[in-house]
Structure 1
Amino acid sequence: MAPLSGCLKGKHLFDFDMLGLKPVLLSALKKQGFDTPTPIQNQAIPLAMEGHDILGLAQTGTGKTMAFGLPLVEHLLDQPGKPAPKTAKALILAPTRELVNQIADSLRLLTHDTPLKVTTVVGGQSIGRQISVLSRGTDILVATPGRLIDLMDRGAVSLRTVQHLVLDEADQMLDLGFIHALRKIAPQLGTPRQTMLFSATMPKQMEELSGAYLDNPRRVQVAPPGKAADKITQSIHFVDKPGKPGKLREILSRDEDALTLVFARTKHGAEKLMKGLVADGFNAASIHGNKSQGQRDRAIKAFRAGEITTLVATDVAARGIDIPGVAYVVNYDLPEVPDNYVHRIGRTARAGREGEAIAFCAAEEVDLLHQIEKLMKIEIPVASGDRPEPVRSDKPRRRGGGGGGGGGRNRKGPGQGKGNGQRFDKPAQGTGKPRRQRRRRAA
């Protein structure tokens, strides 16, 4: 196939038919109603199909999964033969269980009429069953880093045959403290390989991460980091903390049938808020780190189907929910990490739809609001209340994942160099705390 990247500069959008994809993939796209690639797909797919490493930057809801999924499946279809027992041909790492499941669902739609097999491994599910499934081998393994390491330690999976690596929402992995897990996984991967790294933001640590992970990558970017989707209408209500529950009920009552995602900062706060809403007759559920995987899956499924109209969540859900029908996102508590605001509101206005993002801001959160507006280079329109003077606190603010993201304290950069011809092989550095303890802190 002739290289396409040279003729695809600028904003021109081509049809999927022009990519030279196999008929089975074009048929799968047609069944899903996809005719024209999104901007990130427009830029990334041709380069990935040519075999380049990719550093992809795009806001949430822009089609990143298909941007790496299509070229990945195309490459695997060109590799005949079944995977050997306990091996995989491609590995996709994502920071949360919800995002792993979302990616796998999208890939299964692409591979439905092919011999390719997609397998997921995440925490909170039976490790015995996962060991059994992996014993037969898989083409595409989608995993959270922590559970993958548990399986590697048990000898249940070998990564020596992996020739395609995808890191999705890599900046969130940094926030959740997964850099040490990545260092342990990377030396076990096959070489040479193609690596694709996708993220919604590009903090300094991401630059270091890409330098360690990628070999002469092609950078594709369709929106400045920190920019929300154009079809999201944003507003802010200045309201003191005791007034937040009443303001939320007022907003929910305006459109009770609309799907509304409400973000709280802590697991306890999310659960308490949800129970209060249910007691007042609202059709609500919650997802956070104290919920089992089954409970989280059932809540998201019910929310997707419209059986539940209000879902209260911590940041564990900010990147793992891809439900086009979400009409409103309410930031009940502002996140302590400004980037997380962008990820949260990116849960609405998906797949070309319009959406509304509503935020509450108490006096003690004014500084957080200032950081968010500085990141986004906008001033969020005020819907009610007056901007109060910021409340200063002597307590040092925690850096990291904020409302349930956790695990990002005192994190080190990914390191430099690629010794012995391997990437990511520098020994882990950090707090010295057990890895399991750090993972439990995440919501």
Structure 2
Amino acid sequence: MSAHTLYLEKRTIAAEAVRLVRDNDVIIVPTGVGEPPTLLAELSEQRRSFRGVEIAQTLPLRKFGYFDPDTAEHIRHTSYFFGPASRPGGQDGWIDYVPAYFSELPVLIERGLNRADVVFSMASEMDEHGYFSLSLGADYTMAAIAKARAVVLEVNPNVPYAHGNCHVHISQVTALIESEDPILEVGLPKIEPVQAAIGKYVGELVPDGATLQIGFGGIPDAVVMQLTEKRDLGVHTEMIGDGIMSLVEAGVVTNRKKNYRPGKMFATFALGSRKLYRFMHRNPALEMHPVDFTNDPALAGRNDNLIAINASLQVDLIGQCCSESMGFTPYSGTGGQADFVRAANRSHGGKAIIVLPSTAKGDTLSRIVPTLTPGAHVTTTKNDVNYVVSEYGVAQLRGKTAKQRAEALIGIAHPDFREELRAAARKMRLL
């Protein structure tokens, strides 16, 4: 049977496709804009006809109807990484989460530690060979497809057809629906003076020929602005966004100096503008791969001068980084920070860089603290942390003693808090 015939046989409408879900199923949904809005909106409409269904996802962006504590017994969300839609429920306690390194989510699914009964995903149009591209989120979704009883795609011509290990054949698909809605765009955040100052310090740490892992946010975009005069940078990252695209267009990113797969840049999910999605379409320089490939420290670390840039919420004087909670209250998730910190530490000439503003809440709280807030989730351990950068400078911690670390971190704290931190450090016998 031809791929086209199979396509026509499996094409249906959302109201019918969601009936493939059974009570107590776990539905896997890709990261961010890889979430299929038509399918999830229809599932929300029908949610009271299901019982015990779980939707597991990283960084949900739209607040679908099932984000509702009153119907959680019918359909509930489980977070791999909290996003705007799931954070309130996580903080209120009716949305649960899975602590895990981003790189290990496919392994958890493959080994049955996290179930994957059904997959709902956005997909590109089918090519002449019968393949769809899951370019917006290969992440853990490819592993889930290999395990799932039912795979349901929302096929949209606005989804780029990307290269890499992100392709699904029509024979693997249980049902598909069609949509032509624009892909959700995530605009660039505003860069404030503090972010710009941090970006300047980080930019000075990036040599020509380095390979970058860089995420989304005001500080990463401020870093990108400092790299426009660099030469022959490479990309091995988890997220492809507009910042990286701008460096490619400026001729700064060439991928020529990469040790591992030179000439290619790798990512596992996309988040950005319509222009970014067009840039991804059949771009031979870009490959989208599952996260156990992109975030594997052993693979990413094969690149010399790997520069990993990740944000944190709080750092204590021994170097522990809390990047995912405010005390015991969840905010985001583990994500790929520890994956790339370890990758950069393995890399010859690599630098793992943690960035954070020195203060929060209008300069009333220091983000550099004697000890983490009780209940804080440690994302990057004291043994892994290397560089910490605030708007006041750079603290290089790897290989330093506890006392040296405390002194270095106090040196990049906001001046209003330095004496208070020194007093606490003396009390802790760190100074």
Q: Does the TM-score normalized on the shorter chain lie above 0.5?
A: no
More relative contact order, 1 or 2 (CA 8 Å, 6+ apart) = 1
Which structure shows the bigger proportion of residues in helix conformation? 1
Return the TM-score normalized by structure 2: 0.35
Return the TM-score normalized by structure 1: 0.34
Which structure shows the bigger proportion of residues in strand conformation? 2
